[in-house]
Amino acid sequence: MEKTDSLTNLLKEHMVEISTVKANKILVSLGLLAEKERPSSKYAGKMKKYKVLTEQGLAYGVNQENPSSPGQTTPHYYGDTFPELLTLIQRAGKP
The pLDDT value recorded for residue 32 is 98
Least confident of 43-47, 65-69, 90-94: 65-69
Whose CA is closest to 75, among 18, 15, 33, 23?
A: 33
Count of domains for the chain: 1
Q: Give the tens place of pLDDT for each residue, 6-59.
A: 999 999 999 998 999 999 999 999 999 999 998 888 888 999 899 999 999 999
Say yes or no to pLDDT of 1 above 70: no
**Distances 51 to 1, 15, 35 between C-alpha atoms, Å:** 22, 23, 5
67 pLDDT band (50/70/90 cuts)? confident
Q: Which helix (H) or strand (E) holds 20?
A: helix 20-29
- Is residue 2 very low, low, confident or very high in pLDDT (cuts 50, 70, 90)? confident
Full residue range of the structural domain in which residue 71 is found = 4-93
